[in-house]
Amino acid sequence: MHMQLFVYGSGTGLNRHPLVESGFESYHTAMDERRAPLLLHCCCGPCSTASIERLRELGYEPVLFYGNSNIHPQQEAERRYEALRQVAGHFNLSIVRHPWDHAAWLEAVAGHELDKERGARCALCFQWNLQEAAEEAIRLGIDSFTTTLTVSPHKDSPLIFSIGKHHPGFVAVDFKKKGGYQRSILLSKELELYRQDYCGCEFSQRGLAKQEQADGHDSHTT
């Protein structure tokens, strides 16, 4: 039993990542073949914990996927990725990682910088991450994919589902249900994972700073 880890270059397209093609064969040998493979977009380590458990209960074996160009600054994206590596090690799962391209993400949400959290910018952000995961699942030949984003009580699961359903193979699971969010907190503490206190982009960071000034507390928000 061992963790497989694959990090590869920029861009998308079926023929551009031979390293992952060989990695894909390897991860098949490491997977529990009693379960169906599913690509799991992971927003961070903590949210992935309970999602992985739930997916295994549902008969899936996740391959973890980390793109998350919405996260700012890059150091924060790296920190969350390191937490995901801990999770992958704990559950003996593979990670596929895309390069961090925050400039492209900023272009995708241009004009919505001042939107409040849970507004149109967040819908575009979900669309970005779901599309990236959907394309990666196709590229790897994995029939199903989903996202950990629904763990958070701050995220609108019906909105995420309405975006996901436009992609073939999307599996709608509301991970916050059945105590999923509470379970993610418990497992994060057990594994001593880094837990962030803002959603991800610089706009959510500014929103947190304002809120902290107003009421003097902080919290894990994704």
Q: How far is the CB of 200 from ligand SF4 (least distance, A)?
A: 3
Q: How far is the CB of 68 from ligand SF4 (least distance, A)?
A: 9
The CA-CA-CA angle for residues 3, 197, 96, to 5°, reads 25
Q: How far is the CB of 211 from ligand SF4 (least distance, A)?
A: 12
Q: Which is nearer to ligand SF4, 175 or 203 (CB)?
A: 203
Q: How far is the CB of 185 from ligand SF4 (least distance, A)?
A: 19
Q: How many CB atoms lie within 10 A of CB 10?
A: 11
Contacts of residue 36, defined as CB under 8 A and 6 or more positions apart, other chains included, come to 59, 60, 61, 143, 144
Strand, coil or helix: 11: coil
Q: Which is nearer to ligand SF4, 94 or 204 (CB)?
A: 204
Count, residues in the chain? 222
The contact set with ligand SF4 (CB under 6 A) reads 70, 117, 121-122, 125, 199-201, 203-204
Dihedral pair phi/psi, residue 173, rounded to 5°: -125, 125
Q: How far is the CB of 91 from ligand SF4 (least distance, A)?
A: 25
Are 43 and 74 contacting, i.e. CB atoms less than 8 angstroms apart?
A: no
Are 63 and 104 contacting, i.e. CB atoms less than 8 angstroms apart?
A: no
Q: Which is nearer to ligand SF4, 30 or 106 (CB)?
A: 106
Q: How far is the CB of 119 from ligand SF4 (least distance, A)?
A: 8
Q: Which is nearer to ligand SF4, 121 or 195 (CB)?
A: 121
Dihedral pair phi/psi, residue 96, rounded to 5°: -110, 130
Q: Which is nearer to ligand SF4, 98 or 121 (CB)?
A: 121
Q: For residue 106, what are the CA distances in angstroms to 69, 120, 124, 196?
A: 9, 13, 10, 21
Q: Which is nearer to ligand SF4, 46 or 200 (CB)?
A: 200
